[in-house]
Amino acid sequence: MKVGDRHYRTIWPNADGRSVDIIDQRWLPHAFRIETVGTVDGIATAIRDMWVRGAPLIGVTAAYGVAIQMNDDSTDAALDRVWRQLHETRPTAINLRWALDEMRRSLSPLRPSDRAAAAWRRAAEIADEDIELNRSIGRHGLEVVKRIAAKKKPGEPVNILTHCNAGWLATVDYGTATAPVYLATEAGIPVHVYVDETRPRNQGAQLTAWEMAGHGVPHTLIVDNAGGHLMQHGLVDMVIVGTDRTTANGDVCNKIGTYLKALAAHDNGVPFYVGLPSPTIDWTVHDGLKEIPIEERSADEVSYVQGKTASGEIAQVRISPENTPAANPAFDVTPARLITGLITERGIAKASPDGLKALFPERVRSAA
- Which residues in 306-334 are b (16+ Cβ under 10 Å) and which e? eeeeeeeeeeeeeeeeeeeeeebebbbbb
Q: Which residues contact 275 (CB under 8 A, 6 or more apart)?
A: 137, 141, 166, 175, 176, 177, 178, 179, 180, 240, 241, 242, 243, 343
Active site residue 244: yes
Alpha carbon 296 to chain centroid, angstroms: 18
Among candidate residues 139, 158, 160, 161, the one with its CA nearest the CA of residue 148: 158
188 class by beta-carbon count within 10 Å (0-12 exposed, 13-18 middle, 19+ buried): exposed
Q: Which residues contact 116 (CB under 8 A, 6 or more apart)?
A: 67, 70, 71, 74
Q: Which of 244, 251, 282, 332 is catalytic?
A: 244
- Give CA–CA dist 271/273, Å, rounded: 6
Catalytic residues: 244
